[in-house]
Amino acid sequence: GAGVSQSPRYKVAKRGQDVALRCDPISGHVSLFWYQQALGQGPEFLTYFQNEAQLDKSGLPSDRFFAERPEGSVSTLKIQRTQQEDSAVYLCASSQDYGDLHGYTFGSGTRLTVV
Amino acid sequence: SQQGEEDPQALSIQEGENATMNCSYKTSINNLQWYRQNSGRGLVHLILIRSNEREKHSGRLRVTLDTSKKSSSLLITASRAADTASYFCATDRGGGNKLTFGTGTQLKVEL
């Protein structure tokens, strides 16, 4: 597609529920990032993929967070046993290279609210 | 954790005026990028400046970078109401490393 697509756009989860957030990057983009953005803050890094390889997951806040990109294209961020502090906007970004030529293209994000 | 900080945190100007936002960061970088975020939307890449560049222009945008002071500024000239958004700087250490964002400046351009 023309841009990075994320679904769902909004998600309300009950505390303790598992959620899965999807990211469709631009076709052919090598690099894919997930970020978490709390209200009024800048995005915080979660994890990074180069094709199907997860090269950096240092930003994942706990072992309840898991991300995959099995075929080097679509990526899924899964959060198990959601907690209220997980409420945030989850942003996905992709780049055709390492992002140091043209920057990154971000999706519109998934707003997760845990009640 | 955030790499840098932007100031001011919020800026309100009249249409036609120039807006200047500043960004400071902490570590060495490969490049620095500026992004715009409209309320409830994703980030839009505005401009990228490499560590060996001092100034870059794109339309009404002018970015400067001072690596000795670890700071950057974004100037928007002849602002428009449509420029109302949050602006973030983000540093990239290169080689596929993560982008680290600042805290953002909320710009409001009034008619």
CA–CA distance, A102 with B55 (Å, rounded to integer): 16
Q: What is the pLDDT of residue B18?
A: 98
Distances from the Cα of A19 to the Cα of A15, A59, A73, A76, angstroms: 10, 18, 20, 10
Look at residue A112 and tell me if it is in a domain: no
Q: Reply yes or no on whether the pLDDT at A22 is more than 90.
A: yes
- Overall number of domains in chain A: 1
CA–CA distance, B71 with A79 (Å, rounded to integer): 36
Q: Reply yes or no on whether the pLDDT at A111 is more than 90.
A: yes
**In this complex, is the C-beta atom of B45 within 8 Å of any C-beta atom belonging to chain A?**
yes
Give B54-64 pLDDT, tens digit per residue: 999 999 999 99
Contacts of B56 in chain A (CB under 8 A): none
Average pLDDT over chain A, rounded to an integer: 93
Give the tokens for residue B14: 């009249």
For A106, the closest of B2, B43, B95 (CB atoms) is B43
Residue A78 sits in a domain whose CATH number is 2.60.40.10
Give the tokens for residue B102: 């600042």
CB-based contact A95:A37 (threshold 8 Å): no
CB-based contact B34:B43 (threshold 8 Å): no
Mean pLDDT within A107-115? 97
Number of other residues whose CB lies within 10 A of the CB of residue A98 = 16
Beta-strand pair B85-92/B99-101: antiparallel
Give A25-61 pLDDT, tens digit per residue: 999 999 999 999 999 899 999 999 999 999 999 999 9
Give B4-58 pLDDT, tens digit per residue: 688 899 999 999 999 999 999 998 999 999 999 998 788 999 999 999 999 999 9
Give the tokens for residue A114: 């845990």
Q: What is the pLDDT of residue B96?
A: 61
Look at residue A57 and tell me if it is in a domain: yes
CA–CA distance, B70 with B65 (Å, rounded to integer): 8
Q: Name the residue of chain B whose CA is nearest to A43's CA.
A: B101
Contact flag A102-B103 (C-beta cutoff 8 Å): no
Q: What is the pLDDT of residue A100?
A: 63
Look at residue A113 and tell me if it is in a domain: no
Residue B85 sits in a domain whose CATH number is 2.60.40.10
b/e per residue B20-47 (b: at least 16 CB within 10 A): ebbbbbeeebbbbbbbbbeeeebbebbb
- Overall number of domains in chain B: 1
Look at residue A104 and tell me if it is in a domain: no
**In this complex, is the C-beta atom of B100 within 8 Å of any C-beta atom belonging to chain A?**
yes
Look at residue A105 and tell me if it is in a domain: no
Q: What is the pLDDT of residue A8?
A: 97
Look at residue A106 and tell me if it is in a domain: no
The residue range of the domain holding A74 is: 5-99
For B43, the closest of A6, A50, A91 (CB atoms) is A91
Q: What is the pLDDT of residue A99?
A: 61
Q: What is the pLDDT of residue B97?
A: 67
**Pick among A35, A104, A105 to test the B interface (most B CBs inside 10 A):** A104
CA–CA distance, B39 with B106 (Å, rounded to integer): 10
**Pick among B45, B61, B100 to test the A interface (most A CBs inside 10 A):** B45
Q: Name the residue of chain A whose CA is nearest to B96's CA.
A: A98
The residue range of the domain holding B87 is: 5-110
**How far does Cα A83 stand from its chain's mean position?**
17
Look at residue A67 and tell me if it is in a domain: yes
The alpha carbon dihedral of A71, A110, A35, A57 has a sign of: negative
